[in-house]
Amino acid sequence: MAQYVFTMNRVGKIVPPKRQILKDISLSFFPGAKIGLLGLNGSGKSTLIRIMAGVDKDIEGEATPMPNLNIGYLPQEPQLDPQQTVRQAVEEGLGDVFQAQKKLDEIYAAYAEPDADFDALAAEQAKYEAILSTSDGGSPEQQLEVAADALRLPAWDAKIEHLSGGEKRRVALCKLLLQKPDMLLLDEPTNHLDAESVEWLEQFLTRYPGTVVAVTHDRYFLDNAAEWILELDRGHGIPWKGNYSSWLDQKEDRLKQEEASESARQKAIKKELEWVRQNPKGRQAKSKARIARFEELNSQEYQKRNETQEIFIPVGDRLGNEVIEFKNVSKAYGDRLLIDNLSMKIPAGAIVGIIGPNGAGKSTLFRMLTGKEQPDSGEIVKGPTVKLAYVDQSRDALAADKTVFEEISGGADVLTVGKYETPSRAYIGRFNFKGGDQQKLVGNLSGGERGRLHLAKTLIAGGNMLLLDEPSNDLDVETLRALEDALLEFAGSVMVISHDRWFLDRIATHILAFEGDSHVEFFDGNYQEYEADKRTRLGEEAAKPKRLRYKPITR
């Protein structure tokens, strides 16, 4: 094979209105390299992937794949045939293999013919057996089932036109992985996957013989599967030989040499590095310490002192010892039993990470907590001091024609945030909308910026019990880090739905896991500790991701 599978020579890209998003990028990609693509929201990561895929040809410079290189590309919104079933779409990924199997079956039958030409048949047989032998991982049927289970695909006979956006992405990813191209270009492959499916994908790509370039904010993937980090910083592509943790080390050194205005980012990186270097027990979030520091964390002096942080979450009234208790709660949705006899007690100061496949019942749990739905049996008891603040996944309520400042402040210069009055611009700045960013139109914001805006708007009222539904979706690594720091400093309790394992390991004191068959497990510890416990309880095979199953409802 050639020394490089892909080369970029002085590649640049200008986007409206005359903004140079990529500048003078010259890179060469090694065969089999595993590359994680990092950068702030809007830095050009998806643009670079589209250029490499040959989708965007309107560029400066040259982007050249090796001759006959087979490139597979997963965009953020893949196009599938709406009339196909899930199985028909996924089978296309193994088209050559299925065709070879069919031809072999015909050859085996032809041997029985009285006038069979054994030499010709043997030559044909060898050709098609060679195709099957290069397709490792068992028979085509086995490969289909393993990948479909691991990515938790919908039923084989489900029509593509009836699937959600997340389900379509999983189908497209499954089809692409089964094709086994020479080079995989993946734009946010972990979106709409739960934590266990992300872990399976990470292991699959680690073993994958081809080159992989992935835009992802999943830092365990970047740590465990990436051998290179390609950072897009102010238009330039900066390669780093090593994984995410080693990249963090050199990034801290690089920021030290840059201007003082980077000090907030440098401080945030330093905090994450300290966590990376701690032993596992030292990583447990200090929930009691946060509650004990309530007065300091909630004081105006602390808030002023803390203005270098990118995100600051205001807290409401002091949280008492009685927070939330589930007593024998069961909940069905249609003919599916989502939650079967759940009993648990959330301690004060806990950060509970909620994990499980899409459709398992995680958002339904939140709707029961907010009173939008009721349990079918059992009860949910909320403590007398609890004030909920619920940040859902929907960002559609944001007005596209307003500026960031107008959307949050309503035009007022002073906001009442929790119990305090604060300048509107200062509050909005706490969510990393600085200066001119506050005059951006909401309709022009990236997904990550909309996520921050939604968070800022929802949290104005103040609350001491946060319910966060996938807050890490669309956030770049810098903002994720800031959100983690903000949650660790928050002097209340938090329940957070997330599939980001690094995020959960860094902040979670407890895990609430939807494990399938309507069972929900409440575990004292972070994600890694929960996974170790699950393997002990259920065995290695049971711990692998599988398509979602529910207990039948007995009436």
Residues at the annotated binding site for ATP? 356-363
Element (H, E) at 403: none
For residue 431, report the phi and psi dihedrals to the nearest 5 degrees: -105, 25
Angle between helices 244-256 and 263-277 (to 10 degrees): 140
Q: Report the SS3 class of residue 115.
A: coil
Is the CB of residue 469 less than 8 Å from the CB of residue 393?
yes
- Burial label for 394, CB within 10 Å (0-12, 13-18, 19+), is exposed
- DSSP strands (E only) in 358-434: 377-382, 388-391, 414-417, 420-423
Q: Pick out the residues of the known binding site.
A: 356-363
Cα atoms in the Cβ-side hemisphere of radius 13 Å centred on 406: 11
Is the CB of residue 338 less than 8 Å from the CB of residue 364?
yes
Listing DSSP states for 159-180 in one string gives BGGGS-HHHHHHHHHHHHHHH-
Residue partners of 489: CB distance under 8 A and separation at least 6 = 290, 297, 306, 309, 312, 313
Q: How far apart are CA 80 and CA 77, in angstroms?
A: 10
Query: What are the Cα distances from residue 55, in Å, to 98, 112, 287, 379?
Result: 29, 50, 48, 54
Amino acid symbol at 387 = K
Angle between helices 195-207 and 140-150 (to 10 degrees): 140
Q: How far apart are CA 397 and CA 548, in angstroms?
A: 31
- Burial label for 384, CB within 10 Å (0-12, 13-18, 19+), is exposed
Report how many helices (DSSP H) and strands (DSSP E) the chain contains, helices first: 20, 21
Q: How far apart are CA 343 and CA 379, in angstroms?
A: 9
Q: How far apart are CA 459 and CA 402, in angstroms?
A: 19
Is the CB of residue 42 less than 8 Å from the CB of residue 213?
no
